[in-house]
Amino acid sequence: MTMTIDALVLTDPRFAGGTSAAVLADVKAMSDAGLSVGLALMESVGFFQETDTENPAIVNLADLPGVTLIDLEQAQSVRCGIAFFHHPSVFENPVLRAFQVEAVRSVLVAHQPLFLGDGALAFDPFRVQRNVRAQFGQSLLWAPVSGICRQQFRAYAPLLRLTCHDWPNAFDVSDWVPQREKLQTQSLTIGRHGRAHPDKWPATGADIALSLPSGPLSNVSVMGADRAFLHARGVDISDWTVLDFNAMPVADYLDTLDVFSYHHAPLWVESFGRTIAEAMLMGVRCVLSPALQPTFGPHALYGDPSEVAGILDHIRNNLEAERTAALAARQYCLNTYSTKSIVKRFEDLKSDTGTASRSPRPEISPLIAARKLVGFRRRRRKSRKDA
């Protein structure tokens, strides 16, 4: 028996963090718009740890109006407008249970960068394509979640076809409404939120301190960073405000800031930057690592940790212009990332035949990308033999 629906969403329910938040927002938006959605909870192989458990928020999506949980034991065929295969690592190895899909368009939502910060290949995209074709009968368009991901995937064009537009994270913007006017005086509150994961912070205590410089006109506030994590790196937090993870709702915390400063470890590649978009939605001016410019473009200020103090001085000397820029960045996020945009993006995908263009030129040349793929496959074969 063939089920016919508007959208099919395939994901592993063990995701937490940014990928799960993106899936939740997409499915809720489709449900709110009256679309019929099939939810297929895949059991991927080799990506999650045995201790990882299902995220109840993803499982509970099946309770939304119009959402049907696909019974993988019984499913034979699903016909849909768009099939969304979420996260390439779910499909790099064959999933345990699959079914045939008949879709107008099938897209792989690439929540994961293709290359790591050291230039190494993170996964084999052609293996992902082969598995989806073999198990679900579908050819893929790759839908990058950001400019950073798109820039990387172009290295394998024309062998990989990308959607003409990104599929970025979506937000229910009614949850992100500023209550406080920012950048009113030269005294600025600068901060960021997020767990104390080494990848998400600069590699040294010196760079952490430089990225969040305290001083007579700078009040530093962070939420979610473990004090022990900061102390172990020698960061002087004696005049910082350090809040526990989720000590207050994220929107309320961001509303206390004037400037959101985000820098990460040198080898980390941020696939999207959900916390940054949240800050922009709350009207906070963002100062970011230059690595994030392909995603957020003209809507932030960029500089390495050593340049943040100078950027703050620039903001103080141009408060009116920076307030205007922060409001423009908020409007950009409202237009681009609102869940209200999901239905239009969904309809646009139906006529999106994709692009195999290498323009603009990717940072990693196709020749180097080919060599990295050969090396990746060689290492994979060796590790299997050793096992």
Specify whether 361 is located in the same domain as 326: no
Specify whether 236 is located in the same domain as 160: no
Specify whether 329 is located in the same domain as 239: yes
CB 163 within 8 A of CB 198: no
List 285's β-bridge partners, or say none: 259
Indicate which CATH number applies to the domain containing 189: 3.40.50.2000
Q: Which residues form the domain of 210?
A: 173-337
CB atoms within 10 A of CB 287: 25
Residue 342 lies in a domain: no
Residue 345 lies in a domain: no
Q: Per the omega criterion (within 30 degrees of 0), is the bond before 360 cis?
A: yes
Residues of the chain with pLDDT under 50: none
pLDDT at 291: 94
pLDDT at 360: 86
pLDDT at 177: 97
Specify whether 236 is located in the same domain as 202: yes
Residue 68 lies in a domain: yes
Domains held by the chain: number? 2
Specify whether 298 is located in the same domain as 330: yes
Specify whether 166 is located in the same domain as 303: no
Specify whether 205 is located in the same domain as 241: yes
Element (H, E) at 78: strand 77-86
Specify whether 102 is located in the same domain as 79: yes
pLDDT at 353: 94
pLDDT at 299: 98
Residue 259 lies in a domain: yes
Element (H, E) at 24: helix 18-32
Q: Are strands 67-69 and 77-86 parallel, antiparallel or unpaired?
A: unpaired
Its pTM surpasses 0.75: yes
What is the b/e burial string over 297-308, where b = at least 16 CB atoms within 10 angstroms of the residue's CB? eebbbbbebebb
pLDDT at 46: 92
Residue 242 lies in a domain: yes
Instruction: Report d(CA 240, CA 10) in Å as an integer.
Output: 43
CB 345 within 8 A of CB 292: no
Residue 343 lies in a domain: no
Q: What is the DSSP string of 228-281?
A: HHHHHTT---TTSEEEPTTSS-HHHHHTT-SEEEE---TT---SS-HHHHHHHH
Question: From the CA atom positions of the chain, what is the Rg in Å?
Answer: 22
Specify whether 308 is located in the same domain as 373: no
Specify whether 295 is located in the same domain as 329: yes
pLDDT at 387: 60
Chain centroid offset of residue 381 CA: 30
Specify whether 12 is located in the same domain as 122: yes
Specify whether 141 is located in the same domain as 86: yes
Q: What is the DSSP string of 311-354?
A: HHHHHHTTHHHHHHHHHHHHHHHHHHHBGGGHHHHHHHHHT---
List 192's β-bridge partners, or say none: 222
